Each structure stands twice: as C-alpha cells, then as structure tokens.
Structure 1
Amino acid sequence: MSIELLDRGSLVDGGATSATEAVGSTEGLLGRIGNLETRLARNDREIDAAQAVRYRVFVEEMNAQIAPDAARRKRDVDAWDAVCDHLLVVDRSLEGDAEDQIVGTYRLLRHEVARAHGGFYSASEFAVNELMARHPGKRFMELGRSCVLPEYRTKRTVELLWQGCWAYALMHRADAMFGCGSFPGIRPEEHALALSFLHHNAVARGEWAVKALPELYREMDLMPVEAVNPRKALSAMPPLIKGYLRLGAMVGEGAVVDHAFNTTDVLIVLPISSISDRYRNYYGADAGRFAS
C-alpha cells in the first residue's frame, strides 16, 4: 500500500503556483503555497516525525497491522525507510521545531538505490522487475507511503506533494514513476465500478504492461464495459488515483489485496513522456534545479 490516503482534493486541479514560481531562491525548498512548504527530510528526527504521521494515518485511522515494536513506538517503520528519501509537507505556521510542523509525507526510492538494496517495495505485489527488464536504459523511481493528516487533506497539500515529486524526478532524470495506489478495504468487489473502469480504459499495454504477481492476482474486470458509467466510476475513485490518470498514468493488470494495510492495491505506472505539456508547464519544466 502506498499512494492512496489523500482523501480530498485533486492531484492536478489548479491552485498551486509552478515549482519554479513557488520556490524562488529559497534553498532546499521544492514548493510553497501559503504557509505550507514541501522539501526532503534533512535528518533522522524529521524522518522519525514522518513515521509518526504515517502511524497516525495508517494505524490509528486505517487500522493497519504493523510490527509490535513499531506499534509500541507509535511509528510506521520498515526496512525501506533507511534507503528512501522522505518528501515532507511542512506547515510553517505551527509552533515548535521543524519536526513538529510535518503534516504530510511521501517516500521516494530511486532505481539505482533500490537495485543496491534489495529492490522496490512494489515488487512484493507486482511484477515490476519484468517491467524494468523491458526498459534497461530507463531510470525508474517509486512513490510510496503517501499520507496527510486529516485536517490538511486539501487540494493545495496534494499539489505540493506532486510538485516535490516532479522536482525530484527531474533532478534525478527519472524516465518513469510507479507505485501502489490503493482503495480502502480488502474486498475488490466493493470497488467493482472503479476497478472495471480502470481495467477497460487504463491498463498498461505493450512495453509498459505489468501484472500483479500470480499468487496475489485479483480480477479488476468485474463489470462488462457497457455497464460502466465513466462519470460515476471516476467519482468513486480515490482522488490520488484519479489525479494520476489525468497526468497520463496507466495501471497494471490485476489488483492485490493487502491484508496488513486493509487495502486493495493497483499499480500506477507513469512514464515521464506521457505527462502532457499542460502539466509540465504548470509545474515548471525546470523545477529540478531547485532540488539541488
């Protein structure tokens, strides 16, 4: 489970300045809207604070099951935390130190780092290694563990997270992004309309095709195409998945039930070349230079 818990707002529906305009000359920032800023975590204290935010959302709100030691510490922690970069949304208007101001987070894992440390998180659910083998010259990056505190689930927070991801992708010259997008609950049939819409309209084909692992594969083709009302299907979809579709993303074939996190996952696949010029211009084509 990964990029699913931004319950309100849209990934790309207006309201934010471009990363170029937002950052200006302020060192280390990837974006700013009002009192909210996005940047990478600078130290272990900030990573710990991001893990505490994840615990509040995934465990206290969504009833995820985590290791007993992590539960005692009230932190959502796994082995990937040590090798990932942690994108933060910080509310500078809150009192306290920087780690007290973290209200949202995204975990970013680059291809070369994953290769050196045992692979990508999503590979435990989807055949991403086969996908990458078809693109030996391309750089992939994984987006994961996205969450935002309830009172900050607004359009501008989602905008900031995407600005940060876009700047990071440019800085590291990524060719494609992917990650698990999730529906709440472990019964795919409860999301038959949205999953069927994705199956009929957004499944990656050809060189970008990727499937759920055979032992975990759950059908997404739960309704015939003629029974799927696109407007209602999009309305029933988690906003972050819908936002990625607007950017030009595709989804893998087959869903996976994640019992530990109480979600039904699909794989989002977004080649950088598929992002329209409209959104490239919106977020700032040279945003990567502000992440240096």
Structure 2
Amino acid sequence: MTLELLERDVSLSVEQPAVQAPVRSDVFGRIGTLETRLARNGREVDAAQALRYRVFVEEMHAQLPPDAMRRKRDVDAFDDICDHLLVVDTALDGDPEDQIVGTYRLLRQDVAMAHGGFYTACEFDIEPLLARHAGKRFMELGRSCVLPHYRTKRTVELLWQGNWAYALRHGIHAMIGCASFPGVSPEQHALALSFLHHTVLAKDEWAASARADLYREMDLMPPEAVNPKRALMAMPPLIKGYLRLGAMIGNGAVVDQAFNTTDVLVVLPTESISGRYINYYGADAGRFAS
C-alpha cells in the first residue's frame, strides 16, 4: 500500500550538476527548512507510524487491525526490519519527531530474506523475479505518505533524493513495491490499468505477476481503445512518477480490502532510471547534499 503523493509534474533540469562528494552523514539532502534522512530512534519511527495512520486511516479510510486502530498507528511486523526514510521540516516547533512531514519505508533484500521475505510477496509472486536476478540486490519501497500541506515538488524531490542516495549507499540494482489506485474496483480504473498493461508491462527477465489467488485482470480494454493522454491523466500521481523514472508494471492487479486500494507491482531496475533524473539528482546523489 502506498499513498499517491501529489497531482503535479516535477520539472527536472537535464543539465549535469556540479559533482559533489557523496553525503556521508545520515542526512541525504536539504531544500530550505526541509531535510531527508533515516529515522534515528524508536520515537521517530513511532511518529512516522502516526503520520501513516493520519493519512491512510483518517484520510483514505483504511481499516487496520483493532490494536493499530486503538493506538492510532499504522504498524506491522515489517516496521521492525525496515529503514524509515523521513522528510523533516526543521522550522516546525517541537522535538524532531514533531517535525516529520513525510515518510517512505525501505527494505533491503538481504534484510528481508533474513526475516521471511518482502511485504510485496504478500500480494505478488516475486520469487521467480528474484531468482532470475540472484546476483542483484533488490530494495522494496513502500508505505509512502506525506501530510497534505507538504504535497509539493520540494517534498517529492527530497523523498526521491533519499531513495536514490540510499540505493547508491547499499549498491541496489532494482527497486520493487506496491503502488495503489484508490478503491477496490479495478474496473473503475479500466483505462489506466489497460494502458499500463499494454505499454509498460514487465516482460522477460523482469516479468512478475500478482499471486494466482489474488490476481485481478488489468487488460480491461483493447489497445486501440486506450487513449494514452487520457490514461495518464487518470493515473495516480505516484504511479506516473514511477513511470517517468523508467519503471515497469507487473502483470495483474491485487485488491487490498484493508487499505481500500487496488495495487499494482512496480519494477524499477536502477539501470533503467531515466538519464535526466540521474543528471538531476546526481550520479552520486549530490544534488541536494548538505
């Protein structure tokens, strides 16, 4: 489950920025009073879980387990093994945990395999994909959310700065994760889902599908009936962002009743990331480095 961050394009320069030394501290980048870094302690992880609750439950009407609803925290077992990427507004009053305005959950393959696997495997059959790339390191992106007031270009740029810097730091070859359409009726998104199926379906060595017991058809309209411009306009912003980066989409969607979403699988090899994004953030993730 991931939140669609904002309904706007992020304009990127294609001019190569000056080379800077890679960020070595836990702060991956800064823009004004905003900075992106990993959570430093349990209090900050708890604050990220509270932020996720505000967005997923209070805004998007997800239904979490009773204990999570009572605690007003979106929390599951994966939180204990993930790194939690944050966007923090240092201009806000209070302790650091009071300044968290956005978050992403990051899970490296070596950590996932030591603890039972990826969250994505709950919905998608990714084992054949991982097996075909046994020499590559995968990273899972998930639980992205941002407070409404901060759904801006700057926040999204910092989230991707953090993702890119983290991937470089850990030698990641490919990113995977679930991205969401609102609601539990794939037919309501027939145009966008059909566009994804016909144009950016992950094939051959990168192919992966929804689990057979959860599989919902994405091929809901014939190719000749799909208007690409209208399909992109109907696309959730986060999924459009992944496509701009160079992502592919797995075969079949999954309905997540608890989160009130229809999920698709995102597959993004780092070698496929668009050159203009590499230029913008820097081959060493130095674009917004402090």
Report the TM-score range of the alignment, normalised by the length of the smaller protein: over 0.9
Does the 8 Å CA contact 2:4/2:239 hold for their aligned counterparts?
no
Partner of residue 78 from structure 2, selected from 77, 80, 83 = 80
Tell me the equivalent position of 1:233.
Answer: 231
Match of 2:27, SS state, is coil
One-letter amino acid matched to 1:38: T
How far does residue 25 in structure 1 lie from its aligned partner after superposition?
Answer: 6.9
Could you list the per-position Cα deviations for residues 119-147 of structure 1 after superposition, in whole angstroms to 9, with x for gaps in the alignment? Answer: 00000100111110111100000000000
Q: Structure 1 residues 67 and 126, CA, compared in 2 at 3 Å: closer, same or farther? A: same
Give the TM-score normalised by structure 2: 0.94
Distance in 1 between residues matched to 2:6 and 2:220, nearest whole Å: 24
Contiguous gaps of at least 5 residues in structure 1: none
Give the corresponding residue for 2:190.
Answer: 192
Q: Are the aligned partners of 2:61 and 2:259 in contact in 1 as well (CA < 8 Å)?
A: yes
After the TM superposition, which parts of structure 1 deviate over 3 Å for at least 4 consecutive aligned residues?
17-27
Q: CA deviation at 1:156?
A: 1.4
Partner of 1:136: 134
Give, in whole Å, the separation in 2 of the partners of 1:156 and 1:18: 19
CA distance in 2, matches of 1:254, 1:40: 32
Alpha-carbon distance in structure 2 between the residues aligned to 1:192 and 1:148? 27
- For residues 254 and 206 of structure 1, the distance between their equivalents in structure 2, rounded to whole angstroms, comes to 15
Unaligned stretches of 5+ residues in structure 2: none
Give the aligned CA root-mean-square deviation in angstroms.
2.2
Aligned-residue offset at 1:284: 1.1
Distance between the aligned counterparts of 1:119 and 1:41, measured in 2? 22
Question: Secondary structure of 1:30's match?
Answer: strand
Give the CA deviation at 1:286.
1.1
User: Does residue 6 in structure 1 map to residue 9 in structure 2?
Assistant: no
Q: 1:153 aligns with which of 135, 138, 151?
A: 151
Alignment of 1:79-228 (within 5 A): 79-228=77-226
Work out whether residues 22 and 31 of structure 1, in 8 Å CA contact, stay in contact via their aligned partners in 2.
no
Cα deviation 1:200-219 (Å, max 9, x = unaligned): 00000000000000110001
Instruction: Give the whole-Å Cα distance in 1 for the aligned partners of 2:150 and 2:257.
Output: 27
Letter in 2 for 1:208: W
Q: Separation in 1 of the partners of 2:6 and 2:165?
A: 23
The answer on whether the counterparts of 2:12 and 2:277 sit within 8 Å (CA) in structure 1 is: no
| Alpha-carbon distance between aligned partners in 2 of 1:18 and 1:214, rounded to the nearest angstrom | 44
Q: Once the two structures are aligned, what percentage of the paired residues are identical?
A: 71
Deviation at 1:20, TM superposition (A): 8.2
Give the counterpart of 2:64 among 58, 63, 66.
Answer: 66
For 2:157 and 2:283, the matched residues in 1 are separated by 15
**Do the aligned partners of residues 19 and 172 (structure 1) sit closer, same or farther apart at CA in structure 2, a change above 3 Å counting?**
farther
Distance 1:46 1:110 in 2: 20
* C-alpha displacement of 1:158: 1.0
- Cα distance between partner residues in 2 of 1:154 and 1:214: 37
* Other structure's SS at 1:264 match: strand
> How many residues are treated as equivalent by the alignment?
288
**How big is the shift at 1:47?**
0.2
Secondary structure of 2:36 counterpart: strand
Taking a change above 3 Å as real, the CA distance of residues 24 and 171 of structure 1, as seen in their structure-2 partners, is: closer
Query: Within 5 Å, which residues of 2 pair with 1:8-87?
Result: 8-10=7-9, 12-14=10-12, 27-87=25-85
Which residue of structure 2 lines up, in the alignment, with residue 254 of structure 1?
Answer: 252
* SS of 2:142 mapped into structure 1: strand
- Please state how far the C-alpha of 1:24 moved relative to its aligned partner: 8.3
